């Protein structure tokens, strides 16, 4: 192979790399919030759009797996009552639907609102904790909201 052909091949490879890099930088969009909004049914919205609640017909484990597969969380905490996924833009909690209902409820909050909402579960792990020392973990057989 002549040097010119080799040079063309090398520049071609560099061009492919550049095209791929530009494609990723300019062509990717979306967020975990937009993903959840597109995939699941919203039932509540509050706090000027910083918080929302969605429902799914799938069990919590399948929902948590689907969300994690689409957008990998920075951290994850499992609990007998559900799953907590932490992102830069949101704290996502997935739990069983209310008693008598099938499927899941998905809570999407910003960092502060999510930490406040799930403080008994996240306290001391995703933030500071000076809460009560007695047993405070709630829940029960599908007793959630």
Partner 1 sequence: MTGRTTLRGRLAAAAAGMVALTLGNAAPAGALPVLDATDATELAEALAEATDDQNVCYGWKVAVYDYSGGADGIDQGSSLGVGQTAVRTECPRYVVFEASITYTSPASESEDSARFDVVSNIPGAPTAVDLRDNGISVGALLGAEDDEVVANATLLLPALMAEKGLVEPISLEANTEPLPAGDRPTGTPGSDWLRKYGAAVAVAALILIGGLGWAAWIVFREYPFTRASVPTTSRRKRSGGLHQ
Q: Quote the least distance from Cβ 98 to partner 1, whole Å.
A: 7
Spatial separation of the C-alpha atoms in residues 113 and 110, rounded to whole Å = 5
Between 45 and 111, CB nearer to partner 1: 111
**Min CB(85)–partner 1 separation in Å:** 10
* 3-class state of residue 20 by DSSP: helix
- Residue 54 or residue 122: which is nearer to partner 1 going by CB? 122
> Is 113 exposed, middle or buried, given 0-12, 13-18 or 19+ CB atoms closer than 10 A?
middle
CB of 45 to partner 1, least distance (A): 14
Q: DSSP state, 21?
A: H
Measured from the CB atom, is 12 or 42 closer to partner 1?
Answer: 12
Cα–Cα distances in Å, from 5 out to 8, 9, 14, 143?
5, 6, 14, 70
Choose between 40 and 95: whose C-beta lies nearer to partner 1.
Answer: 95
Minimum distance, C-beta of residue 22 to partner 1, in the bound complex (Å): 8
């Amino acid at each position: 192979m002549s040097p010119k052909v080799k040079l063309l091949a090398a520049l071609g490879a560099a061009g492919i790399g550049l095209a791929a890099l530009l494609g990723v930088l300019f062509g990717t969009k979306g967020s975990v919030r937009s993903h959840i909004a597109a995939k699941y049914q919203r039932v509540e919205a509050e706090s000027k759009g910083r918080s929302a609640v969605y429902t799914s017909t799938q069990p919590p484990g399948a929902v948590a797996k689907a969300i994690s597969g689409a957008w990998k969380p920075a951290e994850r905490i499992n609990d007998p009552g559900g799953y907590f996924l932490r992102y830069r833009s949101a704290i996502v909690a997935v739990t069983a639907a209310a008693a008598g209902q099938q499927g899941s409820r998905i809570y999407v909050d910003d960092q502060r609102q999510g930490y406040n909402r799930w403080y008994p579960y996240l306290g001391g792990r995703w933030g500071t904790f000076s809460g009560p020392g007695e047993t405070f973990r709630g829940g029960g057989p599908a007793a959630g909201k």
